[in-house]
């Protein structure tokens, strides 16, 4: 396992129909489940949006300013498919944000590609027009193809995170301890945050799956763990949530 594309293609070969990312928002009762195939289709659409629509190239930097949400692992996968580094806001060539970040990022839309996600069910468009220069993912992503092949594909030596190559990230993920091989991890952490990256990449590397919970209600969290047949959880009892 040297690149995200290698990992995902292996999952598609072995068990394309199984759940890969299951998302709950306890505040809205929303539940979204992405199989390996459905997740791969969304990643392809998002990668095409980045590379073909907005001319982003291998080696450039993406800042993911999204809360815990099913679109967060989609855009992480899209970034690594194109060869983008998932980094900090100050280095960003592109930012993917949610409704709460639109106003602050609109002022930088002339220097940074700003992609805004409504976070409404099914990834649909914003109900109201966005500021000039801010692109509505819910409009632009649906016309993208379900398959994507980068013209300059990343290698294992390309950075996935600042100072961490794709090959290093996947080696670390394969040796991780958050879940057993084939396990199902329930997590409250943001997959795009430093403490949360592992909650996404370890399940992929170990043929497992992620149950991502936003606005977790303590009583409902235990029921979710049971109903989704989770085998591990993050954070553990002695850890903070890492949700930011």
Domain parsing of the chain, residue ranges: 4-234
Q: Where are the alpha helices (DSSP H) in 22-165?
A: 36-48, 71-82, 102-106, 137-140
Q: In angstroms, rounded to a whole number, what is the distance separating the alpha carbons of residues 109 and 33?
A: 32
Supply the pLDDT for residue 241: 42
Regarding pTM above 0.85, the answer is yes
The contacts found for 220-226 with CB under 8 angstroms, 24 or more apart, are 220/26, 221/26, 221/186, 221/188, 224/24, 224/26, 224/186, 225/186
Could you tell me the two tokens for 42?
């969304």
- 48-87 as b/e: b if 16+ CB within 10 A: bbbbeeeebebebbbbbbbbbbbbbbbbbbbbbbbbbbbb
Q: How high is the pLDDT of residue 236?
A: 60
pLDDT tens-digit readout, 39-94: 999 999 999 999 999 999 999 999 999 999 999 999 999 999 999 999 999 999 99
Q: Has residue 243 got a pLDDT over 50?
A: no
pLDDT of residue 240: 43
Whole-angstrom distance, CA of residue 51 vs CA of residue 58: 9
Query: Which tokens in the block code for residue 204?
Result: 């992929």
3-state secondary structure of 211: strand
- Residue 169 confidence class, pLDDT cut points 50, 70, 90: very high
Give the CATH H-level superfamily of domain 4-234. ANL, N-terminal domain (3.40.50.12780)
Indicate the helix (H) or strand (E) that contains 24: strand 19-25
């Amino acid at each position: 396992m040297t690149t995200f594309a290698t990992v995902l293609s292996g999952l598609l070969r072995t068990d394309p129909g199984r759940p890969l990312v299951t998302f709950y928002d306890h505040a809205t009762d929303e539940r979204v489940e992405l199989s390996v195939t459905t997740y791969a289709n969304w990643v392809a659409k998002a990668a095409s949006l980045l590379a073909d629509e907005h001319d982003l190239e291998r080696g450039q930097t993406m800042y993911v300013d999204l809360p815990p949400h099913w679109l967060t692992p989609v855009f992480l996968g899209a970034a690594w498919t194109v060869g983008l580094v998932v980094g900090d806001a100050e280095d960003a060539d592109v930012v993917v944000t949610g409704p709460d970040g639109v106003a602050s990022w609109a002022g930088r839309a002339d220097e940074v590609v700003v992609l805004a996600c409504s976070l409404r069910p099914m990834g649909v468009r914003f109900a109201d027009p966005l500021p000039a220069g801010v692109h509505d993912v819910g409009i632009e992503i649906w016309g993208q193809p379900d398959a994507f092949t980068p013209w300059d594909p990343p290698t294992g030596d390309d950075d996935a995170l600042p100072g961490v190559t794709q090959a290093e990230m996947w080696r670390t993920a394969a040796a991780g301890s958050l879940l057993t091989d084939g396990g199902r991890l329930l997590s409250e952490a943001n997959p795009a945050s430093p403490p949360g990256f592992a909650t996404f990449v370890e399940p992929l590397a170990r043929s497992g799956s992620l149950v991502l919970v936003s606005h977790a209600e303590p009583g409902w969290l235990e029921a979710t763990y049971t109903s989704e047949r989770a085998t591990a959880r993050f954070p553990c009892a002695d850890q903070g949530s890492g949700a930011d």
